[in-house]
Structure 1
Amino acid sequence: RALAAALARAARRPGAWRRAPTAGLAPLRALFARQAGGSVTADDVLVTGGGQGALSMLFRAIVAPGGPVLMESPTYPGALAAARAAGLRPLPVPTDADGIRPDLLADAFAMTGARLLYCQPTFHNPTGTVLAPGRRDQVVEVAKAAGAFLVEDDFARHLGHGGPLPPPLVSGDRDGTVIHLTSLTKPASPSLRIGAVIARGPVMRRLWGMRFVDDFFTARPLQEAAVELLSTPAWERHLRTLSAALRERCALLAACLARDLPHWTLTRHPTGGLHLWVRLPDGVQDTTLADAARAHGVAVDAGARYFPAEPSGPFLRLSFAAAPGPADLAEATRRLAALPPSPS
């Protein structure tokens, strides 16, 4: 309802259907800059049509075809697909319970000569990890020392389950090392294809050049609607409601897994995001199990596709956000528990 009202108001604005500025509407850029914090200004913001297209544009803008790009292992499959489509070579950097390891990241930069790291420091997809406070500055410093850029995918900034959030990495960066990527799609609607890239210097100039080749500008009515939505008290109310609903669903699915599938290992109980990351017993084939689950009406993601290289074991990603209601999550775990054993 809030989106419908925002779009209706936006459509009545003078000039709503005219060409938008190449970088995006000034009020929307200011809103994204304020969200990022630190010394970020509206001039550092480029409005994009969602996050996925922006990610593809960033990979093409920064790394030449055939070049390496470092990624957390596991990572977001859309990033792997975008990198490979750009002709790049995704290379894994190990993670642990506190996120990407700065010591191994430094080794990876030294051994590969990579000039780009893609990471998700807050509510990482698929694990839900938040990069530990003591590592956040370290990771940026390692990238800076390597003469590399760090793409911070902050897609889950509005998907916390309650409690304080660490500031974006870009908020403390004064050297242009961090390139920040965010989107309204996940917290608002799949069809609100509005996101933003925050970058400085040569990277922003290159993105401007690519914008003139790719799409000229992002649809103005959607930008106007985003300004309307983010500028009203309804947005903050929605985020509070969303946070409570995600927290409830996350706890419910975790409890159902403990009850119905105690031999599966929940790697962590996330404090934000949309998913649980579960390790399966040794010998279970994740892709076979995922296919069997779908045949019984339960959609799960096999973990193998989340790894830039060889998987470290059999995993599943379970989403608790898209189910029609909490009762469906309980039914899903009952169906998963009833599946026949998956062959190795």
Structure 2
Amino acid sequence: MSNGSTTDTLVTRLRTLVADLGPGSKLPSSRELIERYRVGPGTVSRAIATLTAEGAVVTRAGVGTFVAPRVDRPDVVSDMSWQEVSLAGREYDPANAVEATHLPTGDGIALSGGYLHESLQPTRSLGAALARAARRPDAWHRAPTAGLEPLRAVFARMAGGATTPQDVLITGGGQGALSMLFRAIVAPGGPVLMESPTYPGALAAARAAGLRPIPVPMDDEGIRLDLLADVFAMTGARLLYCQPTFHNPTGVVLAPDRRRRLIEVARSANAFVIEDDFARHLRHGLAAPAPLVTEDHDGTVVYLTSLTKPASPSLRIGAVIARGPVMRRLLGMRYVDDFFIARPLQEAAVELLSTPGWDRHLNSLRAELRDRCAALVGALARQVPDYTVSNVPYGGLHLWVRLPPDRQAAAVADACRARGVLVDAGDRFFPAEPPGAYLRLNFAAAGSVAELAKAASKLS
């Protein structure tokens, strides 16, 4: 049993104990708790700290831990209806609040969301990196606005080409960076071109910034450049958001002959390209093509990447690579938004990326992703042969599955949830009306290959 689950179990038991005791009652000593519940001293310490933070107990140095006084809260009926009036006119899309659907309960199986199952995350390496970072004498000093120089240098090397550390801005993951980029480049009310389908988080960020997402269709070689030039001309757009490598949700990689041409089309329209390279480290074997930014010399491409996908959702560290006035604007927005990214987290990222263990993690992760992808493709072919997987990706976390014509994605997703399998309905991946019914299935979110097979059988 992991430390986390052991601690959670002890916290639950201690809550019951606290409820049975009166305020001011002393809890058993740490030694007694260790013997009674057969746990380690670290588990007891973490459990007591959790209850203290909740206000359930108070600790007195050298004396012990006691049940906290209970606070009587009078029954008050709150009236929040005034907020509906005050917030009127500010658009809100409830479809953006999707986090709860990514948390299975009991023996449920998650094929939803965009992160690795905890068993695939380098948890020990992350813990060791954070511990080493915390021991640095300057760990809690203010970080530079653009980020720590060693971390910027690491991201510059990852991108390749002529990228320098001075071109890199460290961000709090990818999602916050997307929001900042949309606000920095396009004025409210303006259009932003997007592949169709695309990442729902990008759609949500664009709409929250007051922008109008405009779809550009894709085929099995990526975004259709014959249509892209026309859409730029029709809309006057000055920004394209795209995922050229292991596209989410389709897994498609932009064809080699389209990569340079995409930059040329955007440059001709005096437009920026946001290259979201979230899956650079998630290839299943074959090398991924070089980022578009390495072929750009005029500042057309603004590059975005993150460590949350290959490492952990809580490693909120990403990077933007930009050149020219747009970088100066981003630095100004950083100063207004949050000044800088927490230094201990940046130091931990430097520690993580600078050890041989990082490369070992990526190698094992690639093998696991390859096996899981193949297993789910095979299980779907056997269990639901009328579901179509037109592209088997060689990178990323997802399968993009087309449903039969008589199915609706939302209805299928609801039926799956009722059977304990969480999937993402495809409708919200489209900037406009979806051309068909799709599901996005995350083969890295389940606990094992066996769970993938079980989920496929439930889909049938």
Same fold (TM over 0.5): yes
Q: Could you give the per-residue CA deviations for residues 37-79 of structure 1, whole angstroms, max 9, x where no partner exists?
A: 1111000000000000000000000000000000000000000
Aligned to 2:158: 35
Q: Could you give the per-residue CA deviations for residues 157-188 of structure 1, whole angstroms, max 9, x where no partner exists?
A: 00000012100000111100000000000000
CA RMSD, aligned part only?
0.5
Aligned to 1:106: 229
Equivalent of 2:440 in 277, 298, 317:
317
Task: Give the whole-Å Cα distance in 1 for the aligned partners of 2:179 and 2:441.
Answer: 25
Moved more, 207-216 or 83-92: 207-216
Superposition deviation, residue 136 in structure 1? 0.3
Give every structure 1 segment of 4 or more consecutive aligned residues whose post-TM-superposition deviation is greater than 6 Å: none
Aligned to 1:185: 308
Task: Give the whole-Å Cα distance in 1 for the aligned partners of 2:226 and 2:166.
Answer: 34
Is 2:436 the partner of 1:308?
Answer: no
Q: Could you give the per-residue CA deviations for residues 220-277 of structure 1, whole angstroms, max 9, x where no partner exists?
A: 0010000011111100000000000000000000000000000110021100000100
Task: Give the whole-Å Cα distance in 2 for the aligned partners of 1:274 and 1:4.
Answer: 24
Aligned to 1:254: 377
SS of equivalent to 1:105: helix
Superposition deviation, residue 117 in structure 1? 0.1
Equivalent of 2:172 in 44, 49, 52:
49
Aligned to 1:21: 144
Superposition deviation, residue 206 in structure 1? 0.7
Is 2:216 the partner of 1:93?
Answer: yes
Aligned to 2:412: 289
SS of equivalent to 1:290: helix
Q: Could you give the per-residue CA deviations for residues 293-338 of structure 1, whole angstroms, max 9, x where no partner exists?
A: 011110111110000001010000011011011100000011110x
Aligned to 2:390: 267
Aligned to 1:341: none
Superposition deviation, residue 152 in structure 1? 0.1
Aligned residues: 337
Q: Could you give the per-residue CA deviations for residues 72-121 of structure 1, whole angstroms, max 9, x where no partner exists?
A: 00000000000000000000001000000111100010000000000000
Aligned to 2:401: 278
* Identical counterparts, % of pairs: 74
Aligned to 2:319: 196
SS of equivalent to 1:200: coil
Is 2:293 the partner of 1:170?
Answer: yes
TM normalised by structure 1 equals 0.97
Task: Give the whole-Å Cα distance in 2 for the aligned partners of 1:160 and 1:231.
Answer: 20
TM normalised by structure 2 equals 0.73
Moved more, 54-63 or 163-172: 163-172
Task: Give the whole-Å Cα distance in 1 for the aligned partners of 2:226 and 2:154.
Answer: 35
SS of equivalent to 2:422: coil
Q: Which amino acid aligns with 1:178?
A: V
Q: Which amino acid aligns with 1:55?
A: L
Superposition deviation, residue 283 in structure 1? 1.7
Q: Could you give the per-residue CA deviations for residues 6-40 of structure 1, whole angstroms, max 9, x where no partner exists?
A: 11111111200111000000000000011111111
- For structure 1, the residue ranges without an aligned partner over 5 or more in a row are 338-344
Aligned to 2:63: none
Greater C-alpha radius of gyration: 2
Aligned to 1:340: none
Aligned to 2:239: 116
SS of equivalent to 1:265: coil
Q: Could you give the per-residue CA deviations for residues 111-148 of structure 1, whole angstroms, max 9, x where no partner exists?
A: 00000000000000000000000100011110001000
SS of equivalent to 1:70: strand
Task: Give the whole-Å Cα distance in 2 for the aligned partners of 1:14 and 1:38.
Answer: 34
- For structure 2, the residue ranges without an aligned partner over 5 or more in a row are 1-123
